[in-house]
Amino acid sequence: MLKLPGLIDPHVHVREPGGTHKEDWATATQTALAGGITTILGMPNTQPPIFDEATLNLSLDSAKDKAHCDYGQYLGAGPDNADIVAGLANKAAGLKMYLDSTFGELRLDDMSLWTPHFQKFPKTFPMVMHSESRTMAAAILFSAIYDHPIHIAHVSLKEEILLIKAAKEKGIKVTCEVCPHHLFLTSDSPLPNLGEGLGVRGRKEVRPRLATQEDVNALWENMNVIDCFATDHAPHTIEEKDSETPPPGFPGLETILPLLLTAVSDSRLTIPDIIQKMHTNPRKIFNLPEQPETWVEVDENETYEIKAENQFTKCGWTPFEGWKVKGKVKKVVLRGKTAFEDGKFLVQAGYGKNVRA
Ligand code: NCD
Ligand code: ZN
């Protein structure tokens, strides 16, 4: 058995409030545990979005009752809530800024709307950017001008990882995360069409979009520039994905670790890389408390096929359907209690703790 520390996923769409047919605080945290993850940070693009004290409490109250693993909740940056979110910083995972369009209403189009957030949000709490391509370059410039650390979500392009590398070399306080789907899939990957419906086209929709093989290669070649692996677990039901207007997003909590462990067995990655990018670095970047007596036991040699029907997420599909992977999560111990073992969840809803409590 391989023993890993409790893994951290700083980018999860929990979908509660407002989208609980896709996922909720109970299923998101169970799904996390099944994937070997003991802390998730929830994104604010819910319905309503999390952007002030009332909406923050709406999410945190549900999480308190329902979470099976530890958690935090991000605030969303809006056009006129810079003072409000700055005042709530110590209760939240961090501030999420949507600088490019994606699923949900939160979006800051005009750069003049970014300024008050960079000026007011405390420097000791993380600011996470959804910023693609040239928008990312602008976010890095803001970070330099206002001397505010930023974390770039879901880096997918060669031009992005190279710019982040150059910014780090200049001493700009930028960190970043990469998602498994941008490491293992390209825009040409055939996604299996499960069941009826329009299938492939909608299943492929994700933001940032799947990129080219050259982009994927650049991410692997610059592994030392990547601070964290994050799932961007963004569950939408199979019916929604196969509809005429498919929302973007992939589930990922249950597939991240087996995919990365398979890369280890193919000598493309090491176990210390996984520990650094899913435990040590995210703990530091997001200021997360230690979880005493917490570990994950993995059977490194068990090979199996990824199948949606065996997953715990509510969404009912995975872009990695049918992939053969090596490495199965057997047991997760969270703060002294076995929380997951052999496919069973063993702690009560509400056992999960708010990382900012
Ligand atoms: C996310 C979602 O569905 O909430 N979708 C996605 O494609 N990643 C939003 C996001 O993170 O951009
Ligand atoms: Zn996301």
pLDDT of residue 196: 52
CA of 301 to the centre of ligand 2 (A): 31
Report the chain's mean pLDDT, rounded to a whole number: 96
Nearest by Cα to 28 from 3, 49, 51, 59 = 59
Question: What does the pLDDT read at residue 194?
Answer: 58
Instruction: Give the pLDDT confidence score for residue 200 in this predicted structure.
Output: 67
Q: Contact, 306 vs 325, CB < 8 A?
A: yes
| Residue 73 CB partners (closer than 8 Å, separation 6+) | 41, 42, 44, 50, 56, 59, 60, 63, 92, 93, 354
Ligand 1 pocket by C-beta < 6 Å: which residues?
A: 13, 45, 102-104, 130, 206-207, 232, 234, 247-249
Q: What is the distance in A from the centroid of ligand 2 to the CA of 103?
A: 9
Q: How far is the CA of 262 from the centre of ligand 2 (A)?
A: 24
Nearest ligand, measured from the Cα of 100: 1
Distance in Å, CA 299 to ligand 1 centroid: 31
pLDDT for 183 equals 98
**C-alpha 79 to ligand 1 mean position (Å):** 20
Residue whose entry in the numeric block shows the structure tokens 């890369």: 263
Atom of ligand 1 nearest to the CA of 130: 12
Q: Which residues of the chain are modeled with pLDDT < 50?
A: none
- Residue with the nearest Cα to atom 6 of ligand 1? 249
| Fold of the 2-345 domain | TIM Barrel (3.20.20)
The pLDDT, as a whole number, for residue 201 is 77
pLDDT of 305-328, one tens digit each? 999 999 999 999 999 999 999 999
**For position 30, what pLDDT does the model report?**
98
Sign of the C-alpha dihedral computed for residues 180, 185, 186 and 190 taken in this order? negative
Closest residue by CA, ligand 1 atom 9: 103
- For residues 25 and 13, the answer to whether their CB atoms sit within 8 Å is no
Spatial distance between the Cα atoms of 39 and 110, rounded to a whole number of angstroms = 33
CA separation for the pair 307, 57 (Å, rounded): 35
Can you tell me which atom of ligand 1 is nearest the CA of 205?
Answer: 7
For the CA of 235, the closest atom of ligand 1 is 3
β 127-130/95-98 pair status:
parallel
pTM flag (> 0.75): yes
From 45, 97, 98, 245, give the residue whose CB has the most ligand 1 atoms within 8 Å, as the site to mutate.
45
Contact status, residue 192 vs residue 321, Cβ threshold 8 Å: yes
Please give the DSSP secondary-structure letter assigned to residue 290: P
Residue 150 near residue 117, CB atoms below 8 Å: no
Q: Which ligand is nearest to the CA of 43?
A: 2
- Decide if 39 contacts 340 (C-beta within 8 A): no
For the CA of 98, the closest atom of ligand 1 is: 12
Asked if 77 contacts 95 with a C-beta cutoff of 8 angstroms, the reply is yes
What are the pLDDT digits (tens) for 178-215? Answer: 999 999 999 998 876 555 555 567 899 999 999 999 99
| Counts for the chain of helices (H) and strands (E), in that order | 13, 14
- CA 179 to centroid of ligand 2, rounded, Å: 10
Question: How many A from CA of 306 to the centre of ligand 1?
Answer: 22
